[in-house]
Amino acid sequence: MKALVAVKRVIDYNVKVRVKADNSGVDLSNTKMSINPFCEIAVEEAVRLKEAGVVDEIIVASIGPKEAQEQIRAALALGADRGILVQTDDKAYPLQVAKILKGIAEQEGTDIILLGKQAIDDDNNQTGQMLAALMGIGQGTFASEVKVEGDKVNVTREIDGGLQTVALPLPAVITTDLRLNEPRYAKLPNIMKAKKKPLDEKTPADFGVDMASKQEIVKVTPPAERSAGVKVGSVDELIDKLKNEAKVL
Amino acid sequence: MAILVYAEHDNAELKKATLNTVTAATQMGGDVHVLVAGSGCKPVAEQAAKVAGVSKVICVDSPAYEYQLAENVSLLVKDLAGDYSHIVAPATTNGKNFMPRVAALLDVSMITDIMQVIDANTFERPIYAGNALATVKTSEDKVLVTVRTTAFDAAAAEGGSAEIQELDNAQDAGKSSFVGEELAKSDRPELTSAEIVVSGGRALANGENFTKYIEPLADKLGAAIGASRAAVDAGYVPNDMQVGQTGKIVAPSLYIAAGISGAIQHLAGMKDSKVIVAINNDPEAPIATVADYFLEADLFDALPELTSKL
């Protein structure tokens, strides 16, 4: 069976973001960009399914600027077979991304579609669910375990009170949570080989998708700063401050 | 137009997250209706009818909704959507699971995790792990949002007297089925609504030390127990105790972080707490930048002392 994995180019999770002075957004110039960590887990899971003989081919897709091909190449170096870059300079909102991914999934006839549970830039946590809805198929969100058995998949999900397992007929959409797996590092020979793997370039129009959204970001501001705290020298002083100064005990 | 609030519950009890969500909905202006979808969920509908500010409760009782599978719930909410300008759900794992599905079925965009209602179409929400706040405006006919419950006060659980309308249009999409669940048992207050949270990190070194050092303090304070991702990944505690960008968002009156360095992802889950106490032997730990009170000490000495002196 074929697997489709969606990856997003985002600011590296270790970078401390700065809001632009004109409040138009976050300053991304000269910042390190990477594959969104949850997407990396999705790629890893697809590669493991391939190693287990469940999946024959892994297609990795990204929707974004030309530079997003770096993230596709990184996924190819981890074991994906070929890439599709849907190039756009417009801001990609989840609904539009889901529509494009639906186009790819239907064109390629993929049985299992893996996404991260959320991107660490917009923190939306929407795209996988929207894709499953548009395709009219089941969804296994926040997955911490994935077991393919014949023509269905059992997904264990991280929910507020613990874990829940659901069974979904294939094709299905799975979004990955942190504990699904530990992504591997790309080895140098695989990075070299990844440069020769096929990478198709497309546009949103190829899938009949208009990137315009009825949602707009009016402004972006830094969060309120907390006033500087104090150091306390002993447990007694801490208890005294909590009781008499902060009055929370 | 009216506003539809999706109730969070376990078929027996209305969860507090629903009350916070009702408050957010009230600020959008319009009649607030609450949808209770579940199995054997009539007691929940009765509780919802008493919530102040709610004018109507829609109860759909069917085995199809027992586990609130997104495939089934989203079809129900989509069918009810015609009568509403706004559909609002708490940003719990449940709300985050089905709401985007409803949005796609209606072909509208949606807004996750709002922290403030600016007007009926404009909301503030955190992006980049809470390191920036975005003001988002939508011009969709239907406004779909999930609500960060810790950012809104709870509506009064008593005082309302809404009518309950029972509907009988259950749908099973046949795209998913429930296999099993494993819920963590705890007598302590729920993490996301606790007044005090005591959290431990990697420095606890093992699960036994959570039991030995964190639990007695939490019990003395009547607090919930949280953890950093490092502590969860190391297997010290189950993952539903994780506080952070990818875990739970908490905003208690008092948050005590013991042996937690304070990575960006952890701060995203707790930096709106009223008072933050950090106990750490590293004065350079990033947690010091948000802590109101920083005690530089070995937690294995400080926690028992704190517990005994309270």
Shared-domain flag, residues B152 and B258: no
- B64 within some domain: yes
- A13, B130: Cβ pair inside 8 Å? no
Shared-domain flag, residues B282 and B155: no
Instruction: Please state, in angstroms and rounded to a whole number, the distance separating the CA atoms of residues A240 and B16.
Output: 32
**Over 90: is that where the pLDDT of A232 sits?**
yes
pLDDT per position as a tens digit, A8-32: 999 999 898 999 999 999 999 999 9
- B95 within some domain: yes
Distance of CA B173 to the CA centre of its chain: 27
Find chain B residues with C-beta within 8 A of A157's C-beta: 93
**Closest B-chain CA to A24:** B134
Q: Is A199 on the interface with B (CB under 8 A)?
A: no
Shared-domain flag, residues B152 and B246: no
Residues of chain B above pLDDT 90, percent: 95
pLDDT of residue A189: 97
- B72 within some domain: yes
pLDDT of residue B185: 81
pLDDT of residue B176: 97
Looking at residues A117-122, what average pLDDT do you find? Answer: 97
Looking at residue A26, the DSSP 8-state letter turns out to be B
pLDDT of residue B246: 87
**What confidence category does residue A228 fall into, taking pLDDT thresholds of 50, 70 and 90?**
confident
Looking at residues B136-154, what average pLDDT do you find? Answer: 97
Q: What are phi and psi of A37, to 5 degrees?
A: -55, -40
Instruction: Please state, in angstroms and rounded to a whole number, the distance separating the CA atoms of residues B8 and B19.
Output: 9
- B136 within some domain: yes
Looking at residue A244, the DSSP 8-state letter turns out to be I
pLDDT of residue B171: 86
**What confidence category does residue B187 fall into, taking pLDDT thresholds of 50, 70 and 90?**
confident
Nearest CA-CA partner of B31 in B11, B67, B1, B9: B1
pLDDT of residue A226: 87
Q: What are phi and psi of B14, to 5 degrees?
A: -75, 130
Looking at residues A96-123, what average pLDDT do you find? Answer: 98
CA distance B133 to chain A (A): 5
Shared-domain flag, residues B93 and B154: yes
Instruction: State the pairing for strand pair A112-116/A82-87.
Output: unpaired
Torsion angle of the four alpha carbons B282, B285, B291, B294, in this order, in degrees rounded to the nearest 10: 10
Q: Is B40 on the interface with A (CB under 8 A)?
A: no
pLDDT per position as a tens digit, B43-57: 999 999 999 999 999
Structural domains of chain A in order of their starting residue, each with its CATH number: 2-220 (3.40.50.620)
Residues of the domain holding B290: 196-309
Residues of chain A above pLDDT 90, percent: 95
pLDDT of residue B129: 92
Find chain A residues with C-beta within 8 A of B196's C-beta: 248
Looking at residues B7-13, what average pLDDT do you find? Answer: 96
Cβ burial A17-33 (10 Å sphere, 16+ → b, else e): bebeeeeebbeeeeeeb
Shared-domain flag, residues B42 and B129: yes
Q: Is B121 on the interface with A (CB under 8 A)?
A: no
Which residues 81-140 of A have a C-beta within 8 angstroms of B?
93-95, 98, 117-118, 120-134, 136-140
pLDDT of residue B272: 93
- B217 within some domain: yes
Last residue of a domain, one of B166, B188, B222: B166
Surface-to-core class of residue A169, CB atoms within 10 Å of its CB (0-12 exposed, 13-18 middle, 19+ buried)? middle
pLDDT of residue B169: 83
Find chain B residues with C-beta within 8 A of A123's C-beta: 112-113, 125-129, 245
Instruction: Please state, in angstroms and rounded to a whole number, the distance separating the CA atoms of residues A237 and B7.
Output: 44
Shared-domain flag, residues B109 and B202: no
Per the prediction, chain A carries an average pLDDT of 96
pLDDT of residue B236: 96
Q: Which CATH number belongs to the domain containing residue B34 in this structure? A: 3.40.50.620
- A222, B180: Cβ pair inside 8 Å? no
Looking at residues A92-104, what average pLDDT do you find? Answer: 98
Instruction: Please state, in angstroms and rounded to a whole number, the distance separating the CA atoms of residues B32 and A187.
Output: 56
CA distance B282 to chain A (A): 12
**What confidence category does residue B186 fall into, taking pLDDT thresholds of 50, 70 and 90?**
confident
Q: Which CATH number belongs to the domain containing residue B290 in this structure? A: 3.40.50.1220
Instruction: Please state, in angstroms and rounded to a whole number, the distance separating the CA atoms of residues B266 and B264.
Output: 5
pTM: 0.95
pLDDT per position as a tens digit, A164-201: 999 999 999 999 999 999 999 999 999 999 999 999 99
Last residue of a domain, one of B120, B147, B166: B166
Shared-domain flag, residues B156 and B276: no
> Does B263 count as an annotated binding residue?
yes
Per the prediction, chain B carries an average pLDDT of 96
B131, containing H or E segment: none
Shared-domain flag, residues B216 and B150: no
- B191 within some domain: no
**Closest A-chain CA to B304:** A235
Q: Where are the beta strands (DSSP E) in chain A?
A: 2-6, 9-11, 33-35, 57-64, 82-87, 112-116, 138-149, 152-159, 162-169, 172-176, 199-202, 215-221, 230-232
pLDDT of residue B69: 97
pLDDT of residue B1: 80
Shared-domain flag, residues B77 and B148: yes
Instruction: Please state, in angstroms and rounded to a whole number, the distance separating the CA atoms of residues A145 and B183.
Output: 16
Cα distances (Å, whole numbers) of residue B270 to B15, B216, B223? 21, 22, 15
Shared-domain flag, residues B6 and B109: yes
- B62 within some domain: yes
Looking at residues B99-120, what average pLDDT do you find? Answer: 98
pLDDT of residue A220: 98
Which residues 32-91 of A have a C-beta within 8 angstroms of B?
none
Shared-domain flag, residues B134 and B244: no
pLDDT of residue B153: 95
- B182 within some domain: no
Shared-domain flag, residues B262 and B152: no
Q: How many domains does chain B have?
A: 2
pLDDT of residue B74: 98
Nearest CA-CA partner of B91 in B37, B147, B133, B130: B147
Last residue of a domain, one of B112, B145, B166: B166
